[in-house]
Structure 1
Amino acid sequence: MKPIVAGLMAALLATPLAAQEVTLRFQHFVSPESAVPKYFMDDWAERIEEQSDGRIEVEIYPSMQLGGAPPALFQQISDGVIDGGWFLPGYTPGRFPSAEVLQLPFMTTMSAEESSRAAWRYYEEFLAEEFADVRVLAVHVHGQGVVHTRNAPVAALEDMDGLKLRGPSREANAILEAMGAVPVGMPVPAFPEQLSRGVVDGGVIPWEIVPSLRVHELADTHVEMGGDRSLYNTVFVWAMNHESYDSLPDDLKAVIDANSGLEASGMAGAAMDTGDAPGREAAVAAGNEVLTLDAEETARWQALAGPVIEAWIEGAEGRGLPGTQMVERARALIAEEETAED
């Protein structure tokens, strides 16, 4: 073998990581046209691929294409069935009790971006242990929660009485029940069919998911809260399997790290905000009634949140959690981010 050729081969063999190609498979449960996949996940994947000089390829599978149901996503990530994905703690009630604080009624602002930055900071203080089985990349929430109904107009609190309404979590269900509705828990992909079949009269979802679920074609009334606080919220987590992350060389770990944390959480929230406007516009274009409650009526709904929050604190403290402290800290973090945005 000629010395030059031998030298080249030796150099190649000595630096195998330079040619390493890693494929990471991430899964989520909604349409690729939904706001977070479209405005956050796709961009996140592109940044990972660019910053790794193409050494990492990120494949994102929507609508549970790799199998399983939405409540299984945390376990799929933890077990390494997938390299990463997007899960909702609220889909497994009781498993992540500290995350429930951010889902309490009228806790978060109407801005998903600022509330998501607060959510990351809350995660660092209270959620790291509960989510320890996965590597958390971002924690975020959506914007305002909206009540959507079909053939059951809602213009005041009394109109909620007896309505069967889809809710995403125990906390959302608790405020719906306090308002006189009959809450029906279900993952969001099941909502359109149940609404079209009349199994439920409506449900609560943010505007951003309305177009991809075609809820504007099924519902005819949409009710927003007045003021600066969301009726309810939902926590979302973008996470990775520990072994998938640990198997990366240090420089590729650094790429993942650079796209994780506070800024990534804010970006995921901003994606939700971006999706809210077209969602609302779709409902208006469909000729549906879109009602924003005035301050007096909103206050009547907000008054029902106090007992729900107190009951949650009592339950949390009964499980040995610092319920009062967590609620107060979440409020403080949200207020800090709200002030920073102003």
Structure 2
Amino acid sequence: MERRDFLKAAAAGVSVIAINPTAALANTSMRIATWVPPQHHQNAVTLPRWIEAVKEASGGAINLTVDPAPIASPPEQYNIVRDGVADIAYHVAAYTPGPFEVARGVEMPFLSPNAEIGSMAAYDWYERNIGFDTEFQDVKVLTIFVHGPGAIHSKMPITTLEELQGAKIRVGGGGVKMAEALGAAPVAMPASQAYEAIQKGVADGAMLPWESIKGFRLGELVNHHTEIPGGLYTTFFAVVMNRAKWDALSDEDKAVMTDLGGIKGAQIFGKGWDDADAAGKEARAADATITVLSDEETARWAEKVAFVEDDWIALANERGHDGQALLDDLKATIAKFAQG
């Protein structure tokens, strides 16, 4: 397979606009901060896929490298880019409650069928309705993406509300109220700490997408997996770049980064997550109990967490938006991308 054909296949059908390599006056090198372990697909597969696409599109003029180890905690990723400590990072909005609450509308339960659809829809919806200078004014947003549908991975079966009562479940920053409403005992922490929490008995399981089985090695600790149609939640990631670094790029380099960002970048990152979810699920298919929540049971859970939508609508209204209209448009946008 020719190199160009390979890269096209790796990008899952995402077209890349080639830029004349003679247009760039000098090579541009940038560092990408990371906070997940080396075996996580983001470091091992998805970022390398995106980096190669950027390099090819720029004719080799743009060279991106991933830091070999974290230089800051997960909640600090936005700050290190804003302050110029890192050139690029992917920030989890839920880890810094407050500034990005409108963007986090995409995290609501039962919305996203998979990461590719959810990511493209999230970018399209947010760019049209809010714009990136509203909540992300300190950085340049290259693209955004979401992970796959949030499931529950646990030591014991959790297939009904009754079985969830009192279970100690790792959740992200936005999952505490939802877990409490469902009757669980939330253990709030970044995903990177879930393994240790379960290993030490601090948590009985975790709300995470399927990729966590391999990416965070949870398959070593849990044997029961509960899928919720549309996901119990997802997580909003912003791929952000230092504003001064962006301003210093040539017009040619900006064109490349813009083309490989936006909806196209969202598709690359989302597809990478879906591939990792599939690999995580396949790894457990032979020796684990996998349950898809029934329609009847899903309706029971949905009733318990209906306040999530209500609270977000109220917050969006307080920040000068029409919250109900935004939510309706988000659902319609996801449906549009789901139809292809």
- Normalised by the length of structure 1, the TM-score is 0.87
Give the aligned partner of residue 189 of structure 1: 192
Q: 1:210-221 alignment to 2 at 5 Å?
A: 210-221=213-224
Counterparts of 2:256 and 2:318, CA distance in 1: 41
Counterparts of 1:157 and 1:62, CA distance in 2: 42
* 2:135 is the counterpart of 1:130: yes
After alignment, is 122-131 or 268-277 more displaced?
122-131
Letter of the 1:200 partner, please give it.
A
CA-to-partner distance for each residue in 1:293-323, whole Å, 9 max, x for gaps?
2222222222223223213323443454432
Counterparts of 2:232 and 2:24, CA distance in 1: 50
Give the aligned partner of residue 48 of structure 1: 54
Structure 1's unaligned 5+ residue stretches are 1-15
| Candidates 147, 169, 174, aligned match of 1:142 | 147
Counterparts of 1:254 and 1:312, CA distance in 2: 35
Give the aligned partner of residue 264 of structure 2: 263
Superposition RMSD in Å? 1.9
| Candidates 34, 45, 70, aligned match of 2:40 | 34
| Bigger Cα Rg | 1
CA-to-partner distance for each residue in 1:234-271, whole Å, 9 max, x for gaps?
01111211111111222122221221111111121111
Give the aligned partner of residue 205 of structure 1: 208
* 2:185 is the counterpart of 1:179: no
Equivalent residues of 1:165, 1:202 under 8 A apart: yes
* 2:294 is the counterpart of 1:294: yes
Counterparts of 1:127 and 1:89, CA distance in 2: 16
Equivalent residues of 1:106, 1:305 under 8 A apart: no
Counterparts of 2:38 and 2:322, CA distance in 1: 38
Classify the secondary structure of the residue corresponding to 2:231.
coil
Letter of the 1:21 partner, please give it.
N
Q: 1:269-280 alignment to 2 at 5 Å?
A: 269-280=270-281
Counterparts of 1:17 and 1:233, CA distance in 2: 40
State, as a whole percentage, how many aligned pairs show the same letter: 34
Structure 2's unaligned 5+ residue stretches are 1-21
Give the aligned partner of residue 112 of structure 1: 115
Aligned residues: 317
Counterparts of 2:177 and 2:106, CA distance in 1: 14
CA-to-partner distance for each residue in 1:204-225, whole Å, 9 max, x for gaps?
0001122021101111211112
Shift of 1:196: 0.4
Question: Stretches of 4+ moved more than 6 A in 1?
Answer: none
